[in-house]
Structure 1
């Protein structure tokens, strides 16, 4: 490092004991479910670490009225059709379900999968989902406030369920807003996911470190997750990123990039 920031930030930057993991978001759009199932199985066979789906009701690219499947029922199916890979939401939209219901759904999928669920949560953004399914869109700020209220409710509900989750379900929080989102990350997240490049990540880690210091949390407890890019992944790794997530979808999902990222993971973890 050419210069030091704060001790908290440097803890994040010098997090060397956590291995690289590779995630794949299998977009549930523009393909039938048998294709989704085959692709999920193929990705697991290649050695994928975490298999994600997103939480929308319509495609967000290509034919906007094309084929699309719902998030949580897909996850329940993956819990049965896979055996090793972690499965999760990138991300579950907080607006679409009561937080206590989300906790119960997550607990159930956690049991079905034998303890492999990652609960990714976000505040929501895709207006068509809200409009066509009858949810109040609100504002970006109000949706973030709702997420801040939901996260402790989810945690509380996990403590009341019978049976409880199989273990502490990892919580991923997506987003990079400095005043609200990163404060939620510091308080609740096991994983923080953003779309940051290297220069942005340096700054965001500094802000996250300040939020962690304010509540006395060790920031190295938080796994740093990013959308995977080949251009600056080595620099992002040096800054502390350890979970790199790439995307594929229909009509013909391509795992070529996944194979390349898995080879890079194995080199970095050797």
Structure 2
């Protein structure tokens, strides 16, 4: 059975970059497995016009500043970049992150949802269905371009797809992703796993080849604050097959306490 891993989303909002960088260094030292940011142009909580930094520029900096931890966006918005360009960006960050071996990038991606990003930066928002169709169309283009780049990526870059739509998103995961990420309690996640497994059966994919990821902390301003105990939430999610457990940190203070608890839980279940 695959081991439990811990990911931390260091939100690129309401903090100076120096503080974000110090937080990432501390998290790597603590033993976190994956560092995530997110791909938005404005804060998702607090002051909507507060301090905020761009996703992929930051990932390149993290690739240089860290040594061991995997890095990625939770998640990249497919709408914001040409898929050929995104492939080249991902390949480049993959190489920057390599330390004498394979790179450490996870290509987290989703169809997009935050309308203000689209409106203020001049992207067409369209409909959820059209954005999912675009993701379905573009992921093969990303992979195809990666196969043609010189130099090639240091490894097949793992693709994480975020979202819980049962008719389109989970089919895309079954066809094209290495990791699925969702939000919800154990009952909801177990249901999504069953739907994903069914899509895998229809498409001839071994469901065990898809790592299951879920958030185990509240996301202020977007998700209800209904997870008071990170370890208890992780226990319940682990029982239904989740193996990558993510928690979010908000600036400017970045409280590391919940991460310590989650790491202690991880080490206990993996022992």
User: Cα distance, 1:243 vs. partner?
Assistant: 0.2
TM-score normalised according to structure 2 size: 0.92
Equivalence map 1:80-99=2 (5 Å): 80-99=64-83
Name the structure 2 match of 1:199.
Answer: 187
Counterpart check, 1:27 vs 2:23? no
Counterpart check, 1:62 vs 2:50? no
User: Cα distance, 1:193 vs. partner?
Assistant: 0.1
User: Cα distance, 1:235 vs. partner?
Assistant: 2.1
Q: Take 2:189 and 2:16, find their aligned partners in 1: how far apart are those partners?
A: 37
Counterpart check, 1:103 vs 2:87? yes
Query: Any idea what SS the aligned residue of 2:36 has?
Result: strand
User: Cα distance, 1:207 vs. partner?
Assistant: 1.1
Query: Any idea what SS the aligned residue of 1:145 has?
Result: helix
Counterpart check, 1:158 vs 2:142? no
Name the structure 2 match of 1:245.
Answer: 246
Name the structure 1 match of 2:112.
Answer: 124
Name the structure 1 match of 2:222.
Answer: none
TM-score normalised according to structure 1 size: 0.93
The superposition leaves residues 113-153 of structure 1 with CA deviations (integer Å, 9 ceiling, x where unpaired) of 00000000000011110001000000111111111101111
The superposition leaves residues 139-185 of structure 1 with CA deviations (integer Å, 9 ceiling, x where unpaired) of 11111111110111111111111111000101000001000000000
Aligned-pair Cα RMSD in Å = 0.8
Greater Cα offset, 226-235 or 246-255: 226-235
Q: Take 1:77 and 1:123, find their aligned partners in 2: how far apart are those partners?
A: 25
Counterpart check, 1:50 vs 2:34? yes
Q: Take 1:140 and 1:67, find their aligned partners in 2: how far apart are those partners?
A: 28
User: Cα distance, 1:232 vs. partner?
Assistant: 3.0
User: Cα distance, 1:238 vs. partner?
Assistant: 1.4
Query: Any idea what SS the aligned residue of 1:35 has?
Result: helix
Q: Which runs of 5+ in 2 are unaligned?
A: 218-229
More contact order relative to length (CA 8 Å, sep ≥ 6): 1
Q: Take 1:60 and 1:263, find their aligned partners in 2: how far apart are those partners?
A: 29
Counterpart check, 1:38 vs 2:22? yes
Q: Which runs of 5+ in 1 are unaligned?
A: 1-16
Q: Take 1:227 and 1:159, find their aligned partners in 2: how far apart are those partners?
A: 32
Query: Any idea what SS the aligned residue of 2:9 has?
Result: strand
Report how many residues are paired. 254
Query: Any idea what SS the aligned residue of 1:24 has?
Result: strand
Counterpart check, 1:221 vs 2:222? no
Query: Any idea what SS the aligned residue of 1:246 has?
Result: strand
Query: Any idea what SS the aligned residue of 2:148 has?
Result: coil
Q: Take 2:8 and 2:191, find their aligned partners in 1: how far apart are those partners?
A: 26
Query: Any idea what SS the aligned residue of 1:163 has?
Result: coil
The superposition leaves residues 99-124 of structure 1 with CA deviations (integer Å, 9 ceiling, x where unpaired) of 11111100000000000000000000
Q: Take 2:216 and 2:180, find their aligned partners in 1: how far apart are those partners?
A: 14
